[in-house]
Amino acid sequence: MKNEKKDIRALTKKQLQEFFVSQGDKSFRGSQVYEWLWNKSAHTFEEMTNISKETREMLKENFVINHIRVDQMQRSSDGTIKNAVKLHDSLTVESVLIPTPKRTTACVSSQVGCSLDCQFCATAKLKRMRNLNPDEIYDQVVAIDNESRLYFDKPLSNIVFMGMGEPLMNYNNVMKAVEKITSKEGLGMSPKRITISTSGVPKMIKKLADDEAKIKLAVSLHSAIDEVRTKIMPFNETFPLKDLKESLEYWYAKTKSRITYEYIVWKDINDNRVAAQALVDFCKAVPCKVNLIEYNPIDDGHFQQASAEATTMYQHMLERNGITVTVRRSRGKDIDAACGQLANKSA
Ligand code: SAH
């Protein structure tokens, strides 16, 4: 029986060059194919027009290109686009294009489902099926870049890892994708335009600092009081705030890059002054800003957005303490494309 063909995009440039040399060809041929795969996002070997027909046939016999496929695209009344993305093994993830007058942002997934258990997040209910490969992450970005050019006449400007999954639990693949996105052969984007959002895995935050990735870091905090945070984000039991804070201090000492905290104010959970003061105190650890984000209901009614007064109270307390705060409105709610709503409902 023939062995299963290998995904050609799992090879590094060097491996691809070596493969061609082993076939009696030039290593330069490897660079050409690599460029087709990554710079030109070829879906098939036939597209590689500067490669001879025989070579293309040979590649086809040895490899496959496991490209993602945008299965369904939905457009929100506010312009947000959600892609349901089919993977080669038929699993689905979602990614979102968020247009604003100044920028277009891709919100991409890093895992199929999620291994964390945030009680307020729809993706958490899906359980983690598997990690995405670097190329599956990269492909989502390319698909959104194409949509951005097509519908908004401009290339993608920013990327946030705020789709499905916990990026720091799929660290190696996420970093390989970032490498591709920022490399000349890929999209050549600046790492400063990429934000990795994490629920807070201290060991991996330190690793990210050590690896000098130059990306921006966002932390989904939602509470700066351990008992409350453990209730809504049970993994906080394993990674308590003290460890998270220590890892953020480490991050800042190494990178000098300001952290963004994402924070939702919920009715009867954290809509009080004690909770707001705890956030203010937490914010004193390292330079940061706070995004107060709107809660997107996920059907079970357990969590409810706090009153506008509670959000204003947070805003004032943070501002009085010199902490930058932005109140973020949700985008794409009508198509379940907003934060925490990604659950393959359209698939
Ligand atoms: N696992 C990563 C990235 C995915 S979630 C992380 O936790 O940061 C992206 C953001 O959406 C996080 O800040 C998350 O807390 C927030 N979020 C999750 N569920 C939400 C909901 N129902 N409404 C609004 N934001 C939500």
- Residue 213 CA, ligand 1 centroid: distance in Å: 22
| pTM, rounded to two decimals | 0.90
Does 240 have pLDDT greater than 50?
yes
82 has which bridge partners?
Answer: 74, 96
pLDDT at 1 (0 to 100): 42
Confidence of residue 346 (pLDDT cuts 50, 70, 90): low
Helix and strand totals (H; E) in the chain: 10, 14
Plot region of 200 (φ>0 → left; ψ -120 to 50 → alpha; else → beta): left
**Closest to 292 measured CA to CA, from 273, 306, 281, 277:** 306
Atom of ligand 1 nearest to the CA of 294: 24
Which of 82-86, 171-175, 182-186 comes out lowest in average pLDDT? 182-186
Residue 123: pLDDT above 90? no
CA of 154 to the centre of ligand 1 (A): 27
Structure tokens at 340: 């925490």
CA distance 233 to 230: 5
pLDDT, residue 302, reads: 87
Minimum mean pLDDT range among 25-39, 47-61, 64-78, 279-293:
64-78
How many angstroms separate the alpha carbon of residue 199 from the centre of ligand 1?
8
Higher confidence at residue 124 or residue 295?
Answer: 295
- 121 CB within 6 A, ligand 1: yes
Distance between CA atoms of residues 12 and 28, nearest Å: 14
- Per-residue pLDDT at 71: 87
pLDDT score, position 40: 86
- The model's confidence at residue 299, banded by pLDDT at 50, 70 and 90, is confident
Q: Is 30 in the pocket of ligand 1 (CB under 6 A)?
A: no
pLDDT reported for residue 328: 82
Percent of the chain at pLDDT exceeding 90: 78
How many C-beta atoms lie closer than 10 Å to residue 305's C-beta?
A: 16
Mutate to test the pocket of ligand 1, among 94, 159, 197 (most ligand atoms within 8 A of CB): 197
192-228 pLDDT, tens digit per residue, is 999 999 999 999 999 999 998 899 999 999 999 999 9
pLDDT at 109 over 60: yes
- Catalytic annotation on 107? no
Residues in contact with 4: Cβ distance below 8 Å, sequence separation at least 6, in sequence order: none
Predicted confidence (pLDDT) at residue 3 exceeds the cutoff of 80 = no
Residue 347: its pLDDT value, please? 41
Percent of the chain's residues with pLDDT above 70: 97
Distance CA 227, CA 35 (A): 51
Average pLDDT over residues 145-165: 95
Is-catalytic flag, 339?
Answer: yes
Query: Is residue 128 over pLDDT 90?
Result: no
Q: Which of 339, 341, 342 to mutate to test the pocket of ligand 1 (most atoms within 8 A of CB)?
A: 339
Residues 6+ apart with CB under 8 A from 147: 73, 81, 83, 97
Confidence at 345, pLDDT banded by 50, 70, 90: low
